[in-house]
Structure 1
Amino acid sequence: MDSQVHERSPGTTIRSSTTSTISFEESLHGIEQEHEQFTQWPAFTVEEDYKKRFNRNTIMSTAAAVSTSIFFPTRSHEPVDTTILRRIGRMFTRLPIRNVSWLVASLFSIGSALFVANAFFLLLPLIAPQTDFAGEVAYATPGSSVFGTLLFSFGGWAGWLEGLNWKRGGAATTLEGVTIEVLELSAKERKLKDEEAVQETTSTSDSDSDSTTGSFASRQPPLHLTDGPRATTQQLADEAMASPTATWQPALIGDDAFIWWPTMQQYRRVYWNEKTFNAGLTQWLGTIVFAVATITAVPGVADLTNTNIFYYANLLPATFGGFLFLIAAIFQMGAAQEKWYLPRPLQLDWQIGFWNAIGSVGFTLAGALFYPGTAALSLQATLASFWGSWAYLIGSLLQWYLVMGNYP
């Protein structure tokens, strides 16, 4: 095959018809024209990205700290020395959901407010019929009663748990210049103590020793002298547990010491003679009985035109439930007194029981005064429900205020 020879003179450029030489810049320019332009790199540095992430983590940490301070605040064993307004402010800024005392106070406060509204709806048609509004009888009156009773039921259950765990959260007291600290046992250790107590009671040979030191060991947490030797005598232990200067606190929900139900041995040895426990138990039973009256009063549930149903399914549980509330309030006042015959009206915990007792009398009369069936007594029964709900609301708010005294 003959080869073609291309001659060129110096200074001339020969381009082939089949190949072309293009510069790198021209290639880039062509690509830019096809795709318009390259994607730009983010206009920030690595340091700026780190700062943004750090700020997000800081915000999340701050939000977690705020939620912890609101819902899981630290509880002090001694009342915090603050002004009245600051403590009232903490009632709206601290929501210690693990504290059963706070649950009792808040639930009964809101429930009592609903019962105040319910009594108001019942009272208006009697004293001012022109103020009736659409849906008052069908929705407002039964709705406020049902939701109030529901909150009372949860509050009564929380009151039972409060009495059950009242002395399981630890306490500190002073006896003859020596600080005595009550140490808590875990649930497993308490169970072992109960089992040991059962073995001791079944043994006749150890009955005498069980009546001295063994009985107290199974009934109460151990005592520890922070500034001296370990307290082991029965007299020292009894005086410490009965000391009026002790600031008892219930165990928090979720703690090892918190229990949901007592064993029979615990009930016999610890709770059956404990006023705080009996107050919570009686109040819980009262809410259960009172709920029967509320359910039967809902329109369409029961035929209240039937005298027997009205008396025995509505008025009787309403009256008996209010009476149980009264017994619980008496237990509350008794727990706040050093002697059963010496009231302590200047003590806030005694005032709580006192106002609860007034409210309980109102709830009891709200059911009992309907029995004669006269118009005058029916009006007084409705008025009793009104002022009784207000009294219970005052007692519940005072308890709420008292609980917040241990939260800084």
Structure 2
Amino acid sequence: MSRRAADPPQAHDPSPRTSELDSTAQFSRHRATIHRPRTVTRPLPFFHPTRASFALHHPSAKEEIEGRPHARWSSRASRKHRYSRRPICIAHPSAEKMEGAIPEGPLQEGFSLLEQRVRHTEDQVKVHLAWDLSFWIAVVFVLGSAAWIINGFFLFLPLLNIGTDSFTASAWSAFAGGTLFEVGSYLMYVEALNAGHEELFAPALWELVAHGSGTVSDPPSPDSQSDTAEKGLTGAERGRRTFKFRWIGIGSWRELGFLACFVQMLAATVFWVSTITGIPNVISGLPEDPPTAITDVFFWTPQVIGGTGFIISSLLLMIEVQKKWWLPNLRSMGWHIGFWNLVGAVGFTLCGALGYGSLASSGENYQSVLSTFWGSWAFMIGSVIQLWESLWRESPAQ
């Protein structure tokens, strides 16, 4: 197909993101055909569809799809590598009226062979988690949230007359949390940039490490059938279309998932500035008697701007899994992840907004510190749910 694999399915093009094919023999045993999508969900009019439902036709193995006439696709599940891989045929609209058997070749007129990741009939734990980018994103955010919770204890307990104030410990724990959030947000951006090509992460990372160390060796293969870092068709079609894993670049601005991840990366970068300027001796006199203008510009304002970016990103990620922009999807783990991250983002934004008057008002200082504390716990809840999501394949109940 001429369409870029990184783009989501359109109303006129029912193919979701593709991945490297299994062997031709496996295809011949398990071939299925889907036609134009029965339903396409587009929560916001300007953006690409985020969900689609297809009708399946499997003439040689009807028992495999009995009671399950549809294949469902969602942009988040695809980006998070939550679909198991299975080869099928896609029937082009121009070939929908064709009669007779499906062509035997890997690619015949009116048909294109690709690997459609369709959910299995039961939940499955992901394999090769060591090379799963979504898993490491979740791990980094769990560690980052833990660092922020520790920071909250260092700041909040002295206000309750429990323990002693330790500005150095709170500053460095905040820097650790901000750094981990920056790393996690960048990996989210990389994940969205390479959506549908997650099997290329391991070879790309191995190549990056090998070049950095000056050694050359064969990259590990998470999939024994993936002996090349390319996307394409089996047989003669292999090599016609290739995709190189990208560590930086620009994706589609009409893709809700990519836009949300890009905004989050920018927000985390701005927020990170406040954790750097909060390190002891970077701003003289902080926290007792710092210069007001410098503190407001370089310490509190990045928290407000970064926190606002987190709010926007969380809202976009929630909308991505909804059928309509105003209708919550309480059955989706992705929605709950976005919701708790939204709560955490509000807390971090309030921390910066209330921080402007924290030196003049003990009440504002108390609420500013408290906002960081409960915001950190909200981020932890969202991160733990995200970690759980990264362990499992898509559930048929979702």
When normalised by structure 2's length, the TM-score is: 0.55
In structure 2, the residue matched to 1:61 is none
Which structure shows the bigger proportion of residues in strand conformation? Answer: 2
Describe the shift of the 1:339–1:74 C-alpha distance in structure 2 as closer, same or farther (beyond 3 A): closer
Alignment of 1:9-408 (within 5 A): 76-77=84-85, 78=119, 81=122, 96-129=129-162, 131-132=163-164, 136-138=166-168, 140-169=169-198, 258-262=245-249, 267=251, 271-303=252-284, 304=286, 305-373=290-358, 374-406=361-393
Deviations 1:16-74 (A, max 9, x none): xxxxxxxxxxxxxxxxxxxxxxxxxxxxxxxxxxxxxxxxxxxxxxxxxxxxxxxxx99
Describe the shift of the 1:74–1:332 C-alpha distance in structure 2 as closer, same or farther (beyond 3 A): closer
Q: Indicate the SS of the match to 2:142.
A: helix
Deviations 1:365-397 (A, max 9, x none): 011012233211110111110000000111011
Q: Which amino acid aligns with 1:324?
A: G
Q: For structure 1, which runs of at least 5 residues remain unmatched after alignment?
A: 1-72, 171-183, 190-220, 225-254
Give the total of aligned pairs.
Answer: 242
For residues 330 and 260 of structure 2, the distance between their equivalents in structure 1, rounded to whole angstroms, comes to 19
Describe the shift of the 1:281–1:339 C-alpha distance in structure 2 as closer, same or farther (beyond 3 A): same
Residues 80 and 407 of structure 1 are in contact (CA less than 8 Å); yes or no, is this contact kept in structure 2?
Answer: no
For residues 83 and 328 of structure 2, the distance between their equivalents in structure 1, rounded to whole angstroms, comes to 29
For residues 148 and 117 of structure 1, the distance between their equivalents in structure 2, rounded to whole angstroms, comes to 9
Which structure shows the bigger proportion of residues in helix conformation? Answer: 1
Runs of 4 or more above 4 Å deviation: 186-189
For residues 74 and 387 of structure 1, the distance between their equivalents in structure 2, rounded to whole angstroms, comes to 30
Deviations 1:345-374 (A, max 9, x none): 221111110110000000100110122332
Residues 283 and 325 of structure 1 are in contact (CA less than 8 Å); yes or no, is this contact kept in structure 2?
Answer: yes
For residues 313 and 229 of structure 2, the distance between their equivalents in structure 1, rounded to whole angstroms, comes to 28
Shift of 1:96: 2.1
Describe the shift of the 1:281–1:187 C-alpha distance in structure 2 as closer, same or farther (beyond 3 A): farther
Shift of 1:168: 3.5
For residues 407 and 348 of structure 1, the distance between their equivalents in structure 2, rounded to whole angstroms, comes to 11
Q: Indicate the SS of the match to 1:379.
A: helix
Describe the shift of the 1:272–1:187 C-alpha distance in structure 2 as closer, same or farther (beyond 3 A): farther
In structure 2, the residue matched to 1:197 is none
Highest CA radius of gyration, 1 or 2?
Answer: 1
Shift of 1:169: 4.7
Q: For structure 2, which runs of at least 5 residues remain unmatched after alignment?
A: 1-80, 86-118, 200-225, 235-241
When normalised by structure 1's length, the TM-score is: 0.54
